[in-house]
Structure 1
Amino acid sequence: MPRSQIGYLVAVNKNLEEVASLPKLPLFHGPNFIGRNDVSVPDKRLSRKHIALTTFPDGSADLLVEGTNPVVIRSGELRKKLVSLEKTAINNGDIIELIPGNHLFKYVSASTGEKKRNFSEANSNEQSPKLSGKKIRNQGPKNEETSADKLKAEDKDSNKEQNCVEAIRGFHVSNDKLPHTFRLLKVQGLPTWANTNSVSIGDAIEGDVLLAVLSNYMVDIDWLISACPKLAKIPNVLVIHGEGDSRLDLMKRSKPTNWILHKPPLPISFGTHHSKAMLLVYPQGVRVIVHTANLIYVDWNNKSQGLWMQDFPWKDQSNSTKGCGFENDLVDYLSTLKWPEFTANLPSLGNFNINSAFFKKFDYSESKVRLIASVPGYHTGSNLKKWGHMKLRTVLQDCVFDKEFRRSPLVYQFSSLGSLDEKWMAELASSMSSGYSEDKTPLGLGESLIIWPTVEDVRCSLEGYAAGNAIPSPLKNVEKGFLKKYWAKWKASHTGRCRAMPHIKTYTRYKGQNLVWFLLTSANLSKAAWGALQKNNSQLMIRSYELGVLFLPSRIKVDGPSREFSCTDKGGSSKGSGKSNSPGNPVPAMTKLVTLAWQGTKTSEVIQLPVPYELPPEPYSSQDIPWSWDRRYSKKDVYGQVWPR
């Protein structure tokens, strides 16, 4: 349920007059964070989360200073200075100076009756999302260039719009097919049809969880618990993160006492722990989730994201030592994270040492995907093909695909662009073009395109220019001449996500609306994420941790009913291994991976993947400019802002 709006902050000048050119910052019931991204002029004295405002239904609020610099509260004639971690109550009309004498805001509660129509609108299904950092500007476009007519240009063709709506409306996946595909995350501010079969964090973390391992880059514990209160009740939680020391101090203060925080080793400079995954242990088994969203508000509400999950049962005694490719890949990856081993008491199951080997206790034989991971290091010998793009190359080389996919094109779609060169792009394309057709001939190199938002995409997005904070690529990386031939547009009309900027990362090979394979991953297009070959191709150097799932055509039994194993389904499918219950010997058939726009007869072999963008991608025109976050943009966005603010 969306949180109700309690009030807003109004920017004022030193005479306490409203600054009409700056948008109001809406405040919702519960915690709200205000900081560096919410002021009109960049100021390094402000923290990313400078203050926390916790609002209550009666319009009152508590203010806590989260940043390192002091904040001043003015109430009538009184002036109170607060230092870091000090807290006070504030009331309607009080003035907040985020830095003493600078960045003044007036707190206005909804109970004053001002703009009540907007408050009711904020609670509708069409409510606008918060901005990156943190709060959305509660007003519409301010200039003619960003008029509603312009924003709706993508829907000029009503027939096309209807086809788009029907494409995702028809995306209904039965429980037995869920592990074969992935789902998009719900986005606030979209029409209901655009969120068909989409998921929230509460849809993923559900049921009687005994132990949770949450792997991510950015983690906002306060938001996480407010978005998924169940987490606070899980007895054992390990958070594997990539945050820096300043954020880590805040995380330590915010976390429940039973949570363990761990940052994996980063032996090579400029590396990050970037993998986004969850391992949820239940009495019945384990749920493995791989997704693309940081554990922060904007990533789960404002952006195009993807999530895959599958449940696996505990092994029985007869196969307690038997493994499979998925298990080996998972446990090998977990072992590199080197978290401190701890003991957990799992009710009705006993005491367990929680380390990477613990996850060998589950039966992954029915896994529907392959794991493609990256871990930092200089990988040689047998490890050369274990990680990064060399792992993808190795898996694809063992696959046989339909001959129609020979020399078919590739798409790279991501949200951060590294410093690349043509040699490395050829190296990556060689890995992504691996595989054979039925007559044992290689598929051959495919032409590659990069789907990347334009400046205009970001300017007119749900978040305006603020969306560019999460597309953090500098001019020096984006405007390399050789990249011009790769650029293609982010067009997502059929999923309703043209204005929901992508944080999802996907790589695929396709022909028409048929997919050779599809990778959902945390990995951006960079050498740090995918690795770069060195020493005459005998060594792969990777800087960062990444994790993705690779969807491939696979054999399924198409005769008779099949019931997928579930850790949470109380209807009975939590029993057994998840294998087909059909009698006799059903004939296996090869699955066919297709997009939502695919036209054909849907059979049990057809697996639709909700690829959020349109295929084939549309190349940039001469007027399109790829987004880079360190350029100045004077043309105002949908909230009347320029960039940088």
Structure 2
Amino acid sequence: MERPNKRGLAGSDHSSDEPHRASTPHTLWQPISPPAKKRRLPEQPEQPRPPSNAPSQTFTSPFQLTTIRDLPDEFNKDTVTLNDLLGDPLISECWNFNYLHDIDFFMEAFDEDVRHLVNVHVVHGFWKRDSENKKSLEEQASRHKNVTLHAAYLPNMFGTHHTKMLIFLRRDDTAQVIIHTANMIARDWTNLSQAVWFSPLLPLQQPSTQPPPPTPPATQQHPGSGARFKIDLLNYLRAYEHRCRRIVDELTRYDFSAVRGALVASVPGKHSVDAATTRWGWAGMRQALEGVPLRKGEAEVVVQVSSIATLGGTDAWFKRTFCRAMGGRGGAEFKVVFPTADEIRRSLGGYESGASIHTKTQSAQQAKQLEYLRPVFCHWANDAPGGKDLGEDLVVKEAGRKRAAPHIKTYVRYGNKSDRSIDWAMVTSANLSKQAWGEATNAYGEMQIASYEVGVLVWPALFAQDAAMAATFLQDTVPGDGVEDGPVVALRLPYNLPLQPYGKQEVPWVATAKHTEPDRIGRLWVGHG
């Protein structure tokens, strides 16, 4: 695949160029149509103003999917590869935050003429001296003189350094932030579904003869604005203490005003849910959603993840903490998209793809969890023979990823029936777990978070006044020659619609279980944990 122009790729804001209906996002019961010009929204807090030169009609999807090696070209339109992310010869310094790293693999993705000149920092979570993963990284890094390792401290034994983010300093005096969902290993960039968000290229701030004004606290900045994004990102990086001091100092010099999106992140430790600085986990998500315009009426939040941890024997945390934070002011019905063993078996990589997808149902507590989650579970691919019948009248929207097993994590709120648009969407490293989003609030107004996570939340008002956000399939742009009734932001979906709920006896894929029916490659699965 020929590498696209990097400057064009960096900005995602260019002008464009089976189940019962009750389980389907209301926005997609009918063909997509833009909102009326005179649509009236309920009063909301003031929104960050989009740039004055913003396109007036259509905007490409702020999230892109990664290329799937074994799918035909028509399913890989507008997708990106790891070479597209790392292959720009203008990159001078790269900070690579991730859970799993294959250093030899990702170093090959840099431009061959400059890869030995790029100052590469690898941030991981294997800090214990006897960690085999740490030893492996050190051995790999020893083969590359320009690679420096940084081990993030994790005080909680159940926590992970799960963030997936790249930060570039470039030879043209710009910087860039890329947030994505893939580990830096070959399997994740081959036949697994993943997503990527690119910041614009960030210029150096213009020099001023006046002393800089004091930076207001994060809570006084508009969520979704570039200024707030910068505050939250720098506060996130400061959680690494001395390990990321250099990149914090560097990014302070850059102008983030062109960024459209809210950073929603998690760092380990105990945190006040009403902090005056950056809020983390579900508290940070709740705060960001306070400024998002929501349509009145029924709504659905679709949580699509690659891992579901033990949430508890009752639905208390799931409903009272997680769903309440994600639902926003208007509340919503929730669906969870997660594959079954049949979907993993039929995927491009067969059972091997399931090594990256995790939940458990074996213990008594996990069995109780399955019972309260089963009514909200929906398939990744909506052609499962054991799922609820879609019926013959509903038109399937094909996303082209049903055979590429999901390592992607997306959270999308679909608006009400009459509006037929998306209220907000997020791509993140965070799966459905207390470790990622935080425990319920304790008696002191605090919550405990175990892991590092990073995601980006977007909504239509960030792109243009009175804009709508519409789901798109197989491409990053709204189809057609243009939109006459108002600005529309495309949102590329990775899964087919309508969603297909699980059947009464279906269970999610469990990687630690044994699966004796051969997969599409003819292999069995003995269970890996």
Task: State TM-score, norm by structure 2.
Answer: 0.75
Say if 2:381 and 2:403, in contact at 8 Å, map to a contact too.
no
Which residue does 1:181 correspond to in 2? 62
Distance 1:385 1:429, change over 3 A: farther
Which residue does 1:191 correspond to in 2? 72
Instruction: Verify: 1:390 aligned to 2:280, yes or no.
Output: no
- 1:253-310 CA deviation, whole Å, 9 max, x = no partner? 2221121101111122211110000111112311110000000001011100000102
Distance 1:459 1:383, change over 3 A: farther
> Structure 1 residue 533: deviation in Å?
2.0
Q: Which amino acid aligns with 2:234?
A: V
Instruction: Verify: 1:594 aligned to 2:455, yes or no.
Output: no
> Structure 1 residue 183: deviation in Å?
0.4
Which residue does 1:636 correspond to in 2? 518
> Structure 1 residue 247: deviation in Å?
2.3
Q: Gaps (5+ residues) in structure 1?
A: 3-152, 154-166, 168-174, 342-352, 436-442, 557-587
> Structure 1 residue 398: deviation in Å?
2.2
> Structure 1 residue 321: deviation in Å?
4.1
2:238 to 335, 342, 354: 335
Which residue does 1:277 correspond to in 2? 165
- 1:307-348 CA deviation, whole Å, 9 max, x = no partner? 01022111011399476101100100010022436xxxxxxx
1:204 to 85, 94, 103: 85
SS in 2 for 1:267: coil
1:428 to 309, 314, 322: 322
> Structure 1 residue 236: deviation in Å?
1.5
SS in 2 for 1:233: coil
Whole-Å Cα distance in 1 between the matches of residues 307 and 202 of structure 2? 33
SS in 2 for 1:636: coil
> Structure 1 residue 514: deviation in Å?
1.8
Which residue does 1:325 correspond to in 2? 228
Distance 1:308 1:355, change over 3 A: closer
Whole-Å Cα distance in 2 between the matches of residues 415 and 384 of structure 1? 30
Matches within 5 A, 1:519-538: 519-536=426-443, 538=445
Which residue does 1:542 correspond to in 2? 449
Instruction: Verify: 1:372 aligned to 2:264, yes or no.
Output: yes
- 1:576-598 CA deviation, whole Å, 9 max, x = no partner? xxxxxxxxxxxx62321111157
- 1:561-616 CA deviation, whole Å, 9 max, x = no partner? xxxxxxxxxxxxxxxxxxxxxxxxxxx62321111157886367211111111344
Matches within 5 A, 1:34-113: none
Say if 1:312 and 1:364, in contact at 8 Å, map to a contact too.
yes
> Structure 1 residue 536: deviation in Å?
3.5
Say if 1:292 and 1:522, in contact at 8 Å, map to a contact too.
yes
Matches within 5 A, 1:148-159: none
> Structure 1 residue 228: deviation in Å?
3.2
Matches within 5 A, 1:311-322: 311-318=201-208, 321=212
SS in 1 for 2:139: helix
Whole-Å Cα distance in 1 between the matches of residues 308 and 276 of structure 2? 26
Whole-Å Cα distance in 2 between the matches of residues 385 and 334 of structure 1? 12
> Structure 1 residue 625: deviation in Å?
2.9
1:554 to 451, 461, 466: 461
- 1:464-493 CA deviation, whole Å, 9 max, x = no partner? 111110012222347631111111011277
Q: Percentage identity across aligned positions? A: 30
Task: State TM-score, norm by structure 1.
Answer: 0.62
Whole-Å Cα distance in 2 between the matches of residues 179 and 339 of structure 1? 38
Which residue does 1:221 correspond to in 2? 103
Distance 1:530 1:383, change over 3 A: farther
> Structure 1 residue 391: deviation in Å?
0.5
> Structure 1 residue 432: deviation in Å?
0.8
> Structure 1 residue 180: deviation in Å?
5.8
Whole-Å Cα distance in 2 between the matches of residues 364 and 433 of structure 1? 28
2:137 to 251, 263, 267: 251
Q: Which amino acid aligns with 1:523?
A: A
Which residue does 1:454 correspond to in 2? 340
Q: Gaps (5+ residues) in structure 2?
A: 3-17, 19-31, 33-53, 216-226, 383-396
> Structure 1 residue 434: deviation in Å?
1.1
Say if 1:384 and 1:390, in contact at 8 Å, map to a contact too.
no
- 1:600-640 CA deviation, whole Å, 9 max, x = no partner? 86367211111111344221123533111122211111111
SS in 2 for 1:228: coil
Larger radius of gyration: 1
